[in-house]
C-alpha cells in the first residue's frame, strides 16, 4: 500500500469546495465538509473533467461538464452505483492534510 503524502495545509482547502492535488502520480480531488475530509479520483470517467471543479452539495459532487454526480465518501456514481471513481484515504496531522490510495479489496 502506498504511503500517505502531504497535499497541503488545512487552510489551503475551502469548506464545501474541491481542490485537485497530485498523489502518487495522479490527480485527486480533496473535499472538506465541516470536520470531515474525503478524496476521490479527480477525473470524471465520462469525459475527463476535473471533479474538484464541480459543485458540491451534501456528500455529492457534480461534474462541471455533463452533470454526472459522484459520492465524495466512496466515489460511486450516484445514478449507477456499480460504476465510480477510486476513493482515497485522508488524514489530518497537525495542520497538514495527507492522502493515500485506499487498498483495493481482494476478490475471492
Structurally, how many domains does the chain consist of? 1
> Do 31 and 71 meet the contact criterion of CB atoms below 8 Å apart?
no
Write the CATH number for 97. 2.102.10.10
pLDDT tens, 25-37?
A: 999 999 999 899 9
Look at residue 14 and tell me whether its pLDDT is greater than 90: yes
Half-sphere exposure of residue 11, counting CA atoms within 13 Å on the CB side? 1
Q: How far is CA 77 from CA 10, 37, 38, in A?
A: 27, 19, 15
Residue 108 forms part of a structural domain: no
* 60-62, strands of its sheet edge to edge: 55-57, 60-62, 69-71
Mean confidence (pLDDT) of the chain: 93
pLDDT > 90? residue 12: yes
Cα radius of gyration rounded to whole Å, the chain: 13
| Residue-wise pLDDT tens digits, 64-81 | 999 999 999 999 999 998
Please tell me the distance from the alpha carbon of residue 56 to that of residue 46, in angstroms, as a whole number: 18
% of the chain beyond a pLDDT of 90? 81
Domain enclosing residue 71, as ranges? 5-101
Amino acid at each position: 500500500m502506498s504511503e500517505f503524502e502531504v497535499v497541503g495545509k488545512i487552510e489551503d482547502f475551502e469548506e464545501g469546495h474541491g481542490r485537485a492535488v497530485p498523489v502518487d502520480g495522479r490527480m485527486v480531488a480533496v473535499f472538506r465538509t465541516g470536520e470531515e475530509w474525503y478524496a476521490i479520483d479527480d477525473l470524471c470517467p465520462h469525459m475527463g473533467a476535473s471533479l474538484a471543479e464541480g459543485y458540491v452539495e451534501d456528500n455529492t459532487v457534480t461534474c462541471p461538464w455533463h452533470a454526472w454526480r459522484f459520492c465524495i465518501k466512496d466515489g460511486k456514481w450516484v445514478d449507477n452505483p456499480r460504476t465510480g471513481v477510486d476513493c482515497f484515504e485522508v488524514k489530518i496531522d497537525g495542520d497538514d492534510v495527507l492522502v493515500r490510495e485506499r487498498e483495493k479489496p481482494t476478490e475471492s
